Amino acid sequence: MIEAGIIGGAGYTAGELIRILLRHPKVNLDFIYSTSQAGKPVTHIHQDLLGETDLQFSREINTEADVVFLCLGHGNSKKFLSENHFSDSKKIIDLSTDFRIAAEDHSFVYGLPETNKEAIKAADNIANPGCFATAISLAILPLAANGLLEDEVHINAVTGATGAGTSLSETTHFTWRDNNYSAYKAFEHQHLGEIGQSVKILQPDYSSALNFIPNRGNFSRGIHCTAYTRFNGSAEDAKKLFQNYYQDAEFTFVVEEELHLKQVVNTNKCLLRLQKFNDKILITSVLDNLLKGASGQAVHNMNLMFGLEEATGLRLKANYF
């Protein structure tokens, strides 16, 4: 059994990670570290797990665990790792933004399995992609991999309230979010850096803009993304290209049907739909921001790192009705 620990256990992504790991047939969840909830039952915060675990939040860290998931606020993972020493054999999967951009001062591998599977298998440290970055990258990287991004890409995506985390603010309060819709961080979202990095790796000569408008929706979870750009081939050319690119992908599927969030919420899947309009290709992608966009993808990365079948513990059914 893989001995696993979680650092920062009180948030939404940690809650989903706990749920997955408790049911994972190859994992023993050894500890869940939290400074704010230490000593309290995990079910005090994650009440959906009542009757499923007797674990308590801990102030103690098992430095000999096989894998540690960092579910800390952005900017805190680097600080935590600088203050805590782990064995050289430990594998670390960070769910924050801290290590997603390649740099000489860290050895984290970007953990998007659809494009980086072999590097993930050999890695000790993984930077788990962001939720918007996952949805957008999976929509456009097949074009980049074939050198077919020839113009600016225009992206509009909406995320549920859980994308903002558990900390309350004006725009996460129920009375503001309910029956409301808004754009934020237009052209400046923090995930643009990692998306651009992935595009450049696959198509180094790409120099046009990635125009991204993120939106807040009045629902709890999920991302619905539309991206369009110039494409000179036919609709069938595009479908064949995407199907070939994702033919070995465990959780990413190219489909013909119109897409909506109920198809993917509570799963580790990303669904893609392609449509051709005159000289433009429209790619729609949908996924669960807390699973495929965070904790599910982190477990997928863990499975790859430990040589397990990719979908182990991740065969999850959507809450369709």
Three-class SS of residue 31?
Answer: strand
Q: DSSP secondary structure string, 252-286? A: EEE-SS---GGGTTTSS-EEEEEEEETTEEEEEEE
Q: What is the largest CA-CA distance in the chain?
A: 60
* Paired tokens of 205: 């000569």
Q: What is the token pair recorded at 57?
A: 């939040």
Q: Which of 71, 131, 225, 270 is catalytic?
A: 131
| Spatial contact of 80 and 104, defined as CB atoms under 8 Å apart | no
Instruction: Judge whether 270 counts as a catalytic residue.
Output: no
Query: What is the token pair recorded at 110?
Result: 């970007």
Tell me if 292 sits within 8 A of 301, measured CB to CB: no
Q: How far, in Å, CA of 70 to CA of 200, rounded?
A: 27
Query: How many angstroms separate the CA atoms of 156 and 224, rounded?
Result: 8
What is the spatial distance between Cα 219 and Cα 254, in angstroms, rounded to a whole number?
Answer: 25
Would you give the DSSP letter of residue 11? S
**In sequence order, what are the residues at sequence separation of 6 or more whose Cβ sits closer than 8 angstroms to the Cβ of residue 26?**
1, 2, 306, 308, 312, 313
DSSP letter (8 states) at residue 28: E
d(CA 217, CA 159): 6
Catalytic residues: 131
